[in-house]
């Protein structure tokens, strides 16, 4: 892989180029690798951000050679890349594609992988640098980690360059298993070499939340309980389980989304300003928030689990969760969850944080809505206070990435009548360059060794300390039902209604 000749290395505004290295992807034939990781590698190459001597090394249980894997990788890049697929770019990447076939329990296979990495130092100049991406089920983590430890491939002390590992969520299934996994990973790799990936933290709009708060003087003075009525964080999906029955039925919406994505978004929304934008400073402030989260005393009223039944979406009938292939007919796994949490800090005391996520909801959307308190007095006789509503600042994470500010404005005419209007900022219309995909940004950070956007084990464990009591409370309770195409069960609306609030409809 050759560097982009148009890039001037003296231009510090451009992203840094990683050192020559290999990216070893375990489970490279799976959906994550084909739809996200390989396209992200292509997009980085298309943008001139891959180093000279970069190698994509696939590992899977397939009787393939390098050419077979190259064909799969080419198809994945062509079908799923963000940037335009160009043959000249792919030819440069194709020269650096390698494949090692085998199973995780085969010592000879991992010995072969070790020899391959050594050979690549001479043939491609990777200088002993390698990142291992575990794109595999969590149950297989221990076996792969122990093989990397046995062969000393994980040890940067035994190599001429650096070694790193990328671990996909879920990070365990409760606090105890999370600690067990963290101890295992940390016994094989140094803490600074472990990258626990939460792809939501790689999204431009999530990072823009920090810019919005800390690069502007408008918002921070009112970003507290004196002015904020409540915060709503929504991650809605219109799809079902999409063939992931075995994983999803064992995880559910709580472990799949609430424990990681939603709590990370809450932490970024509620955190104090870090002393700098480096990994440790950000993690310190996020940990403070996660440890300050309080659960509702009345969990029956302020936590809701739901499971979708058959209904209609986009004019088509869709089946219920219990009718999905591979789902037990008596499953109590939730496909919807909504909770009210508190953050017990001086800034946020008394402000409810409403979090919800669900499948088979009317539309796909992820957003953070900061709802401000009403004005204490309105001197406008013809203004309906119910119609005017609350000022809102809405950060749209996906799709239609951007920010909406909702506020009151005078209606044209002779009378002083005020109505709610919106002011929108859209990434797509404000910047000429499209936002990189989350995995594109995060893979680059892994190769650079930048842990800023990756949760550490303390954040993961603090999140499980929030989730475990909820799972224990729900263990013997049936989920509420909702029809596919609705915004969750009625209990989700009642949770807010009992406090005089309503969900924002994206």
Condensed to tens digits (0 to 9), the pLDDT of residues 184-217 reads 998 999 989 999 988 888 887 888 888 888 988 8
Asked if residues 41 and 50 have their Cβ atoms less than 8 Å apart, the reply is yes
**Rounded CA gap, 202 and 208, in Å?**
11
Condensed to tens digits (0 to 9), the pLDDT of residues 219-271 reads 889 999 999 999 999 999 999 998 888 889 988 999 999 999 999 999 999 99
Residue 11's pLDDT is what? 41
Residues 261 and 132 in one domain: no
Asked if residue 377 is part of any domain, the answer here is yes
Asked if residue 462 is part of any domain, the answer here is yes
Catalytic residue list contains 80 = no
Q: Give the residues of the chain that fall short of pLDDT 70.
A: 1-15, 158-159, 377-388, 414-416, 431-434
125: left (phi over 0), alpha (psi -120 to 50) or beta: left
For the entire predicted model, the pTM comes to 0.90
> Which of 261, 377, 390, 457 is the catalytic position?
261
Asked if residue 194 is part of any domain, the answer here is no
Residues 343 and 445 in one domain: yes
473: left (phi over 0), alpha (psi -120 to 50) or beta: alpha
Range list of H helices, 226-340: 245-253, 263-270, 279-292, 299-302
Asked if residue 291 is part of any domain, the answer here is yes
**Rounded CA gap, 231 and 489, in Å?**
20
Residues 161 and 230 in one domain: no
Structural domain that includes position 209: 201-497
Asked if residue 417 is part of any domain, the answer here is yes
Residues 109 and 232 in one domain: no
Residue 129's pLDDT is what? 94
Q: How many domains does the chain have?
A: 2
Asked if residue 13 is part of any domain, the answer here is no
Residue 407's pLDDT is what? 76
Residues 381 and 486 in one domain: yes
């Amino acid at each position: 892989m050759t560097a982009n000749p148009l890039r001037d290395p003296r231009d510090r505004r451009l992203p840094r180029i990683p050192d020559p290295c290999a990216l070893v992807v375990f489970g490279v034939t799976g959906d994550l690798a084909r739809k996200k990781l390989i396209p992200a590698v292509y997009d980085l190459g298309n943008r001139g951000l891959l180093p000279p001597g970069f190698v994509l090394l696939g590992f899977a249980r397939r009787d393939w050679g390098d050419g077979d894997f190259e064909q799969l990788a080419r198809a994945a890049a062509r079908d799923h890349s963000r940037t335009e697929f160009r043959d000249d770019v792919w030819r440069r990447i194709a020269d650096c594609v390698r494949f090692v076939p085998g199973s995780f329990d085969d010592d000879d296979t991992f010995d072969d992988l070790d020899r391959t990495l050594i050979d690549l130092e001479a043939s491609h100049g990777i200088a002993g640098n390698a990142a291992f991406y575990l794109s595999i089920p969590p149950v297989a983590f221990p076996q792969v980690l122990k093989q990397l430890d046995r062969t000393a491939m994980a040890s940067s002390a035994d190599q001429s360059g650096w070694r790193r590992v990328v671990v996909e969520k879920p990070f365990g299934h409760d606090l105890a298993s999370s600690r067990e996994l963290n101890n295992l990973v940390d016994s094989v790799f140094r803490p600074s070499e472990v990258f626990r990936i939460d792809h939501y933290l790689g999204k431009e709009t999530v990072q823009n939340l920090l810019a919005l708060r800390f690069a502007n003087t408008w918002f921070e003075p009112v970003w507290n309980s004196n002015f904020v009525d409540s915060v709503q964080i929504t991650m809605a999906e219109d799809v079902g389980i999409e063939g992931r029955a075995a994983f999803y039925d064992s995880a559910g919406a709580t472990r799949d989304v609430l424990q990681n994505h939603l709590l990370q978004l809450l932490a970024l929304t509620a955190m104090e300003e870090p002393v700098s934008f480096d990994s440790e400073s950000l993690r310190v402030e996020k940990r403070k928030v996660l440890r300050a989260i309080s659960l509702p005393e009345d969990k029956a009223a302020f936590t809701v689990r739901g499971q979708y039944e058959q209904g209609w979406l986009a004019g088509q009938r869709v089946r219920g969760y219990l009718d999905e292939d591979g789902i037990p007919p008596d499953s109590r796994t939730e496909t919807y969850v909504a909770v009210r949490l508190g953050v017990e800090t001086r800034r946020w005391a008394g402000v409810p944080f409403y979090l919800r996520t669900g499948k088979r909801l009317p539309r796909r959307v992820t957003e953070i809505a900061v709802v401000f308190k009403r004005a204490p007095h309105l001197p406008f006789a013809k203004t309906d206070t119910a119609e005017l509503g609350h000022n809102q600042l809405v950060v749209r994470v996906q799709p239609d990435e951007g920010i909406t500010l909702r506020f009151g404005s005078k209606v044209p005419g002779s009378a002083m009548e005020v109505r709610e209007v919106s002011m929108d900022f859209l990434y797509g219309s404000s910047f000429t360059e499209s936002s990189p995909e989350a995995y594109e940004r995060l893979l680059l950070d892994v190769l650079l060794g930048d842990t800023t956007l990756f949760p550490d084990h303390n954040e993961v464990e603090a999140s499980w300390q929030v989730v475990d009591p909820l799972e224990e409370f729900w263990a013997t309770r049936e989920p509420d039902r909702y029809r596919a195409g609705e915004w969750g069960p009625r209990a989700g609306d009642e949770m807010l209604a009992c406090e005089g609030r309503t969900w924002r409809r994206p």
